[in-house]
Amino acid sequence: MIIFNLLRRYPIIPAFIYTVLIITAVFAPLISPQDPYKNSLRDRNVPPLGIEGSKSEYILGTDPIGRDMLSRLIYGARVSAMVMFFSILIGVTIGTTLGLISGYFGGHIDEIIMRFVDIWAALPFIMIALVVVLIYGQSFKILVALLALMSWPGPVRLVRAQTLSLKNMDYIASAKIYGASNIRILAKHLLPGTWNIVLVAATLNIGSIILTEATLSFLGVGIPPPTPAWGAMTASGRNYLNDAWWVAFMPGMCIFLVVVAGNFIGDWLRDRLDPSLRQLN
């Protein structure tokens, strides 16, 4: 019963998944049992342990050119974590800044920024990503930039709404009276008041970032091969679903777990940080 209550109250399982993700990402070279790039055509499509034909050195089996699945998943965690971290950092920074400016200054600036956000949100993102990669080629930096550019409009709206309600507080007028500059008011009085919103927005973005990264890698415009990325690994397994299902299933499962865990943590944070939504104490 106690365990059930704890699980209900805190996102223990999602937190565990993220801890594992971060630890594997950081210590990938130490943890992975084999070289993720080393192929051996003699060991093609070896099934995971427990299935007939498995080999003891390949715990989760091998892919169609004989690379160790587990090692590739571990290195893939590194790629996913880095993509996630950098694109959310950039996206949320841009989004928060624009949201603060839009809400605080209002008027024409607000109108321009918000209409721009509307237009941006209507862009067919995957198409643009395909074109950009076509022009500039595949690279980690371009992927991160694309994902960051995809994720900034959400935080703008949220932060703007929060800023609008905060800027009419007396302490903002008070700060003006005592000579605080606009930048100071934005950074010291409004930004701290939007932290909770930003944190929730960032966490809830994790899911869509990872999924989009996977989609792009699946379409072949994500992380350039042979770097192991979960999306690309899923893609490479789709031709072997009949005789080597694990090649697509393992990385797909990883994507699923991380996205679900991200959403759970985001929901939990939202409930915790917004007192009006708090249900359990």
Partner 1 sequence: MTKKNTKIEKQKPILSVNGLKVHFFTDEGTVKAVEGASFDVLAGRTLGIVGESGCGKSVATRSLLRLVDSPGKIVDGEIIYRGDANKKEINITSLKTSGSDIKSIRGGEISLIFQEPMTSFSPVHTVGNQIIEAIKLHKKLNKDDAKGLTLDWFKRVGMPDPEQRMNQYPWQLSGGQRQRAMIAMALCCDPKIVIADEPTTALDVTTQAQILDLLKELQEENGMSIIFITHDLGVIAEISDDVSVMYLGNIVESASVDEIFHSPKHPYTTGLLNSIPSITNKNRERLPTISGSIPHPHNRPSGCTFRNRCQNPSDDCREGKIEMKLIEVSPGHFVDQCCINCG
278 binds partner 1 (CB under 8 A): no
Q: Which stretch binds partner 1 (CB under 8 A): 133-141, 165-173, 251-259, 265-273?
A: 165-173
Beta bridge partners of 62: 68
192 binds partner 1 (CB under 8 A): yes
Min. distance of Cβ 177 from partner 1 in angstroms? 5
Beta-carbon contacts of 99 under 8 Å, excluding residues fewer than 6 positions away, are 155, 156, 157, 158, 159, 160, 162, 163, 194
Cβ proximity of 227 and 79 under 8 Å: yes
Q: Which CB sits closer to partner 1, 67 or 160? A: 160
Ranges within 62-121 binding partner 1 (CB under 8 A): 106-107
199 binds partner 1 (CB under 8 A): no
Residue 167 CB-half CA count within 13 A: 19
Options 180, 211, 257, 273; binder of partner 1; rule CB under 8 A? 180
Gap between the Cα atoms of 276 and 245, Å rounded: 46
Gap between the Cα atoms of 109 and 98, Å rounded: 10
Options 124, 178, 183, 281; binder of partner 1; rule CB under 8 A? 178
165 binds partner 1 (CB under 8 A): no
Options 174, 225, 239, 277; binder of partner 1; rule CB under 8 A? 174
State how far the alpha carbon of 83 is from the alpha carbons of 124, 143, 223, 236, 266, in Å. 21, 8, 10, 20, 18
H or E, element range at 247: helix 246-273
Options 14, 36, 193, 266; binder of partner 1; rule CB under 8 A? 193
Q: Which stretch binds partner 1 (CB under 8 A): 32-40, 164-172, 208-216, 249-257?
A: 164-172
Beta bridge partners of 68: 62
Options 23, 171, 238, 274; binder of partner 1; rule CB under 8 A? 171
The site for partner 1 (CB under 8 A) is made up of 106-107, 169-171, 173-180, 182, 188-189, 192-193
